[in-house]
Amino acid sequence: MIETRGLRKSFRSRAGRETKTVDAVRGVDLTVAEGEIFGFLGPNGAGKTTTLRMLATLIEPDGGEATIAGADLRTDPAEVRRRIGYVAQGGSTWDESTAREELVLHARLYGIGKAEAHRRAARALDAFQLTEYADRKCKTYSGGQRRRVDIALGIIHEPKIVFLDEPTTGLDPQSRAHMWDEIRRLRADGMTVFITTHYLDEADALCDRIAIMDHGEVVAEGTPAELKREISGDVVLVGLDAAATPQAAEVLDTEPYVNKLETGDEGGLRLYVDEGATAIPQVLRRLDHAGLDLRSIELHRPSLDDVFLTKTGRSLRES
């Protein structure tokens, strides 16, 4: 559905008298299949929005090429526009208009006739539970309601692909869960959904496939499960009193099944093992044997954050 090769974009920005070049996106290759929810995961400034804006024909790439829903981004941007929907990170509604007016106008800008535009607006308002507020000015909406109008605008013309730039940022947990349901419904309707996020759980739970982006480059691509599987082994977190920690570290460091051992800041140990399920009983036995008291023990499966950590040397949580 989407195929990009070597997509690049740099911005020149002026700070004082110096002009600096920011390489926002440096060679992105992606393949997105029809009917999947594809997630773009990355920290602030990774280049997610810039990539999306290029794919949505809003800015011209400096280099590379892309085919979107069968249309060539370079040679036929007008056709690309007809086949995609795009929902910007920062919202897109006008304070003084109502949701219904916005939806009708937006549909008509896609060439849809007046009567049909009204029908579609009514249907979209219904689907996104907005009917109650449909004829109130947008400035009176809550953040979540306004975000739902944005998404409804992006799909009013029933595009093959919709790009959603951080659809759930700023929503409370309940609205987020609702938004996930809406996005899954779009997929059920046969739409290909391309979202960006910097939430690990969102990428993990919602997306069929993800690409992890950092500093303008894709550092990993695959299903969440595949990516996590690449990180070999599990992590066992051993909770101990600070006083007992050094001795426990000494005892466990020599065990053959412990690949690596780290001491936590406030006591406790992090053990990297091949197989958590078999390691835990052995750890328990060994500590018991040494007469050390254990406060807790936890098996930690690798998360997407661990994937990010191994690929970039940084944690996504910290950045």
Partner 1 sequence: MKLLRDTWLIFERQIQLLLRNPVWVFVGVFQPVMYLLLFAPLLKPALNAPTQAAAYKIFVPGLLVLLAIFGGLFQGFGLIAELRAGVIERSRVTPVSRLALLLGRSLRDVVSLIVQAVIITLLALLFDLRVFIGDLLLAYLMLALIALMTSAVSYGVALKVKSEDALAPLMNTVAQPVLLLSGILLPLTFAPGWLQGIADWNPFSWAVDGTRALFAGDLGNDKVWQGLSIIAVLAAAGVVWAARQFARSVR
Ligand X SMILES: Nc1ncnc2c1ncn2[C@@H]1O[C@H](COP(=O)(O)OP(=O)(O)OP(=O)(O)O)[C@@H](O)[C@H]1O
- The helix or strand, by DSSP H or E, that contains position 247, with its residue range, turns out to be helix 245-253
Q: What is the dihedral of CA 55, 80, 57, 98, to 10 degrees?
A: -100
By a kind-dependent CB cut-off of 5 to 8 A, residue 111 interacts, out of ligand X, Mg ion, partner 1, none, with: partner 1
What residues line the site for partner 1 (CB under 8 A)? 56-59, 78, 81-82, 84-86, 88, 90-97, 101, 105-106, 108-111, 153, 157
**Which is closer to partner 1, CB of 153 or CB of 211?**
153
What DSSP line would sit under 178-241, residue for residue?
HHHHHHHHHHHTT-EEEEEE--HHHHHHH-SEEEEEETTEEEEEE-HHHHHHHS-SEEEEEE--
**Which is closer to Mg ion, CB of 52 or CB of 125?**
52
CB of 169 to Mg ion, least distance (A): 9
Residues of span 7-36 touching ligand X by CB under 6 A: 11, 13, 22, 24
CB of 45 to ligand X, least distance (A): 4
Q: Does 317 bind ligand X (CB under 6 A)?
A: no
Q: Are 40 and 202 in contact (CB under 8 A)?
A: no
**Which is closer to partner 1, CB of 163 or CB of 308?**
163
Structure tokens belonging to residue 306: 């661990």
CB of 10 to ligand X, least distance (A): 8
Buried b (16+ CB within 10 A) or exposed e, 151-184: bbbbbbbebbbbbbbbbbbebeeebbebbbebbe
CB atoms within 10 A of CB 144: 16
Determine the Cα–Cα distance for residues 128 and 87; give it in Å rounded to an integer: 15
Q: Which 8-state DSSP code applies to residue 294?
A: P
Q: Does 170 bind ligand X (CB under 6 A)?
A: no
Binding map of Mg ion across residues 76-115, x = CB under 5 A, - = no contact: -------------x--------------------------
**Which is closer to ligand X, CB of 28 or CB of 235?**
28
Among 4, 25, 42, 49, binds Mg ion (CB under 5 A): 49
- Rg of the chain (C-alpha set): 24
Among 30, 46, 71, 161, binds ligand X (CB under 6 A): 46
CB of 42 to ligand X, least distance (A): 5
CB of 178 to partner 1, least distance (A): 22
**Which is closer to ligand X, CB of 180 or CB of 199?**
199
What lies within 8 Å, CB to CB, of 196 at 6+ separation is: 39, 40, 41, 42, 48, 49, 52, 89, 164, 165, 166
Q: Does 49 bind ligand X (CB under 6 A)?
A: yes
Residues of span 60-99 touching ligand X by CB under 6 A: 89
Q: Does 167 bind ligand X (CB under 6 A)?
A: no
Q: Does 44 bind ligand X (CB under 6 A)?
A: yes
CA atoms within 13 Å, Cβ hemisphere of 185: 13
By a kind-dependent CB cut-off of 5 to 8 A, residue 88 interacts, out of partner 1, ligand X, Mg ion, none, with: partner 1
Q: Which stretch binds ligand X (CB under 6 A): 43-51, 134-142, 243-251, 257-265?
A: 43-51
> Which sign, positive or negative, has the C-alpha torsion 261, 263, 269, 270?
negative
Q: What strands lie across the sheet with 217-222, from one edge to the other?
A: 84-87, 161-165, 192-197, 37-41, 209-214, 217-222
CA atoms within 13 Å, Cβ hemisphere of 232: 5
Q: Which residues lie near ligand X (CB under 6 A)?
A: 11, 13, 22, 24, 42, 44-50, 89, 198
Q: Which residues lie near Mg ion (CB under 5 A)?
A: 48-49, 89
